Amino acid sequence: MPLHAKDAVRDRWVDDVYCSRDSSVAVPKYRFPPHALPADHAYAVVHDELMLDGNARMNLATFCQTWVEPEVHRLMDECIDKNIVDKDEYPQTAEIEARSVHMLADLWNSPAAANTIGCSTTGSSEAAMLAGLALKWRWRDRRRAANQSTERPNLVCGSVQVCWHKFARYFDIELREVPMEPGRYSLTPDKTLRCVDENTIGVVATLGVTFTCQYEPVREICRALDDLAARTGLDVPVHVDAASGGFVAPFLEPELEWDFRLPRVKSINASGHKYGLAPLGCGWVIWREAADLPQDLIFRVDYLGGDMPTFNLNFSRPGGQVMCQYYNFLRLGREGYREVQQACRETATFLAEQIGAFGPFEIVHDGRSGLPAACWKLKPGPHAGNFTLYDLADRLRYHGWQVCAYPLPGLPEVIVQRALIRHGVSRDLVRALVADMCGALVWFRDHPINVPVSNKDGSGFHH
Which CATH entry fits the domain spanning 68-463: 3.40.1350.10, 3.40.190.290, 3.40.50.10860, 3.40.640.10? 3.40.640.10
Q: Residue 77: which residues within 8 A CB-CB, separation 6 or more?
A: 320
User: What's the pLDDT at 429?
Assistant: 96
User: What's the pLDDT at 459?
Assistant: 46
What's the pLDDT tens digit per position in 349-386? 999 999 999 999 999 999 999 999 999 999 988 877 78
User: What's the pLDDT at 385?
Assistant: 76
User: What's the pLDDT at 97?
Assistant: 94
What's the pLDDT tens digit per position in 40-52? 889 998 999 999 9
Question: Which pLDDT band, with edges at 50, 70 and 90, does 460 fall under?
Answer: very low
User: What's the pLDDT at 8?
Assistant: 54
| Helix ranges (DSSP H) in 51-90 | 70-78
Is 410 within 8 Å of 181 (Cβ atoms)?
yes
User: What's the pLDDT at 290?
Assistant: 86
CATH 3.40.640.10 in the chain, residue ranges: 68-463
Is 203 within 8 Å of 154 (Cβ atoms)?
no
Distances in Å between the alpha carbon of 380 and those of 152, 360, 377?
43, 9, 9
| Helix ranges (DSSP H) in 59-185 | 70-78, 91-107, 124-145, 162-170
Is 447 within 8 Å of 385 (Cβ atoms)?
yes
Q: How is 393-438 classified by DSSP, letter by letter?
A: HHHHHTTT-B--EEEETTEEEEEEEEEE--TT--HHHHHHHHHHHH
- E strand or H helix at 362: strand 361-365
| Stretch 266-273: mean pLDDT | 97
What's the pLDDT tens digit per position in 400-423? 999 999 999 999 999 999 999 999
For the chain, the average pLDDT equals 90
What's the pLDDT tens digit per position in 139-158? 999 999 999 999 999 999 99
Distance, in Å, from the CA atom of 351 to the CA atom of 40, rounded to the nearest integer, reads: 43
Fold of 3-53: MYOD Basic-Helix-Loop-Helix Domain, subunit B (4.10.280)
User: What's the pLDDT at 18?
Assistant: 77
* pTM greater than the 0.75 cutoff: yes
User: What's the pLDDT at 2?
Assistant: 55
* pLDDT at residue 1 greater than cutoff 70: no
User: What's the pLDDT at 14?
Assistant: 54
What's the pLDDT tens digit per position in 304-357? 455 556 677 777 889 999 999 999 999 999 999 999 999 999 999 999 999 999
User: What's the pLDDT at 316?
Assistant: 85
User: What's the pLDDT at 456?
Assistant: 46
* pLDDT at residue 117 greater than cutoff 80: yes
User: What's the pLDDT at 12?
Assistant: 53
List, in sequence order, every beta strand (DSSP E) within 220-343: 238-241, 265-271, 283-287, 299-301, 308-310
Rg of the chain taking only CA atoms, in angstroms: 25
CATH 4.10.280 in the chain, residue ranges: 3-53
* pLDDT at residue 452 greater than cutoff 60: no
User: What's the pLDDT at 314?
Assistant: 77
Give the residue, 24 or 290, on which the prediction is more confident: 290
| Stretch 174-189: mean pLDDT | 95
Q: Is 310 helix (H, G, I), strand (E, B) or coil?
A: strand
Distance, in Å, from the CA atom of 307 to the CA atom of 169, rounded to the nearest integer, reads: 33
Give the residue, 301 or 331, on which the prediction is more confident: 331
Question: Which pLDDT band, with edges at 50, 70 and 90, does 462 fall under?
Answer: very low
- E strand or H helix at 391: helix 389-397
